[in-house]
Amino acid sequence: MKNRLLSLVLSATAVVACSSASSSGEPAVGDDAHLDEPGEDVIDDPGAEPGGPGDPGTPAVPGLSSASFRNIGRRGEDIVIHVAGTDAAMRTSAAHVRFTDDADAPVKALDSDWDGVADAAESTFRFDVSTLGSATFEGTITIPSAFGPTSKVKKAFVALEDEAGARSAEIAATMTFQALKIDNEPCDPQQIESRCEAGLACGGTPAICQPGSAPAITKAAYIGGASPKMVFRGEEPDEDIASISVEFLDSSNQPKTVVLTGEGQDGTSGSSVVIDAEGSAFGTTFFVEAFPAPSFVSQVPRIAATAADRVGRTSTRLITPLTTLPARSTGQVCDPDGFDACSSSAVCFPGIRSERNTCRAAASTRTQKCKDAPGLDPAKGVTRAYGAVSGVSLWDAPTGCVPNDATGRPEAAVQLHLAAPAPTLRITTALPETSFDTAVYLIPSCAASSAAALGCNDDAKGYASELVLQNVPAGDYTIVVESVQRRGGRFGVAVSTE
C-alpha cells in the first residue's frame, strides 16, 4: 500500500518482514523462501510416469470423508476450510470449493482475476501444507479476505481434486461463524473461535476481552545518503495499527515547512504527512517504511513520528535525527527490516525477523538457493510449482518492471530446463494459489543479477503476472517469482511452451 507526495517528499509503503509460523497465521519459511515440500510441490502433468499413481490406467478417485469451514482472524475476514480424505494413488493436495447462501445460490466471495474484487463463487485451492504422497490425510485451505460484514456466504460445497483433475463427491458444509466478543467476555487468543471487537485485546489468564492499549514505536530511523528512507517498527497489542504521522522538524525540533508537491506558487506546502499503516503487521508487530526525496532530506534535519490505531489511540511522539545507515560486515548480526545494511557483497540472512540474522555472502547464498530450488521441465510434463515467498532478497526485478523500481523484496526461485528451443514460452502466476502482488522474470542459469533477465512482467492479470517470451534457446534457467511489496505470501507458477 503506497502513499506518494509526488516530486519532493515521500513514496511510502506499509510493509512487514515475514517470519516463521505463528498464531497470526503467517506462513512458515526456511531459507529465504521455499516451496512447501521440495520434491512434492512441483506438480507434473498426470500420466507423466507410466505405471505410477498418475497413470491413466490407475482407477483412483479421491474420497472426501469430511469437510467444515469457518471465518477466522482479527477482523473475521479469512476463511479456513478443513477436510479429511483418502486417495490410494496419493496424488491429492487440493480441493474444489464453491460458496453459496442458505438457498444454495452462488455467492461471489473469490477474486478470480487478481484485481482485489470478489467476482467468482468457486475455485480449486491447494492445501496449506501439501498432502501429496499420503493415502489418508487431513488438510486445510486458508482463503484470505474472503468474508466480510455484508457477506452472504453460508455454505461451502467441497470436493477433493487430484492432480489428474478427478474429483470426489461433494460434501456440503455449513459455515461456523466466529463469535464477536465485548469487554470482559472470554475470548480465543488464536482468533479462531472468537475475536474481540475493535479497540479491545484478548489477553490474561483466562483470556478475556479487555481494553486495548495504544501502539508503540519501538524503533525508528531517518536515513540520508544516496537512498534516503524512514523506517518505523513497533507493537500494537490490539492488531489495529492505522497510521504513522510524521512531522518535519528543524535542528531545534521546531516545525519545518517544505514544498510537498509542485513548484513555486502552485506547489503544496506542509510540515507533516500521514502514512497509511493498515495492513503493515502480522500479529502485534508492525513495520512501515517511507522514501523521501534527496531534496527533502537536505531541508529536514529531524522528524517526529506518532503511531495511531483504528480507534484513535496514539503512541508516544518519537523524535529522530537524520543519520547515515549503519554498515555491517560478513558474520555480523544485522536487522532484516533495514535499520542497518550488510556490505555490498553480503545479505542479511535469513531475512526473517523472528530468527537471528547475520550478514552472509550473497554469491554463495544465491548459489545455494538455486541448488535447492525445485525444477520444472515441460518436456517431461513437469510444468507447475507452488510455494511461499518470504525472507531475504537475492535478486531485484529488472529496472522499470515494478513500481518505483522497488528493491529488497523477497522472492522464490524455481529452476526451468528447456530440452529444446521454445518458439513461445509462457510463465504465469495467474493461479488460484497466488495471493499477493507478484512480478516474474527469467534469468539464465543462476545469474547473479536480473540485468541478464530475458524478460520481466508485473501485473499482466491484476496483481498476477504473465511473462511471454519468443524464441527462447534450449538450456537451464531460473524463474524468479518476486513480491512487489516486502510482504510476500503464497503463490503458484506454471509454464507452457508453444
Give residue-wise pLDDT tens across range 207-224. Answer: 999 999 999 999 999 999
CB 389 within 8 A of CB 56: no
Q: Which three cell numbers stand for residue 429?
A: 502466476
The mean pLDDT value for 307-330 works out to: 96
Residues of the chain with CATH 2.60.40.10: 2-16+213-325
Predicted pLDDT of residue 339: 97
Residues of the chain with CATH 2.60.120.380: 373-497
Predicted pLDDT of residue 276: 95
H or E element in which residue 297 lies: helix 294-299
Q: Per-residue pLDDT tens for 336-356?
A: 999 999 998 999 999 999 899
Predicted pLDDT of residue 40: 34
Residue 380: which pLDDT band, with cuts at 50, 70 and 90?
very high
User: Alpha-carbon dihedral of residues 145, 283, 81, 203, nearest 10 degrees?
Assistant: -120
The mean pLDDT value for 288-306 works out to: 94
Predicted pLDDT of residue 279: 83
DSSP per residue, 335-378: -TTTTSEE-TTEEEES--TTS--EEEEHHHHHHHHHHHS-EEBG
Which superfamily is assigned to 2-16+213-325 in CATH?
Immunoglobulins (2.60.40.10)
> How big, in percent rounded to 5, are the helix, strand and coil portions of the chain?
5, 45, 50
Predicted pLDDT of residue 110: 95
Predicted pLDDT of residue 59: 54
CATH architecture of 373-497: Sandwich (2.60)
Q: Per-residue pLDDT tens for 430-472?
A: 998 898 999 999 999 999 999 999 999 998 888 999 999 999 9
Residue 267: which pLDDT band, with cuts at 50, 70 and 90?
low
338: three-class secondary structure by DSSP: coil
State which of 22-31, 260-269, 310-319 shows the largest mean pLDDT: 310-319
Query: DSSP code of 432?
Result: T
Q: What percent of the chain has pLDDT over 90?
A: 74
Predicted pLDDT of residue 47: 36
Kindly report whether the peptide bond that precedes residue 350 is cis, defined as omega within 30 degrees of 0. yes
42, pLDDT greater than 50 = no
Predicted pLDDT of residue 57: 53
Give the number of other Cβ atoms within 10 Å of residue 264's Cβ. 6
Mean pLDDT of the chain: 87
CA–CA distance from 190 to each of 72, 85, 119, 388 (Å)? 9, 26, 30, 22
Question: Which carries the bigger pLDDT value, residue 19 or residue 319?
Answer: 319
75 φ, ψ (degrees, to nearest 5):
-115, 10
50, pLDDT greater than 50 = no
Q: Is the pTM of this model over 0.85?
A: no
Question: Which carries the bigger pLDDT value, residue 9 or residue 488?
Answer: 488
Predicted pLDDT of residue 5: 35
CA distance 280 to 244: 11
Predicted pLDDT of residue 406: 84
Predicted pLDDT of residue 162: 94
CATH 2.60.40 corresponds to the domain 42-174: yes
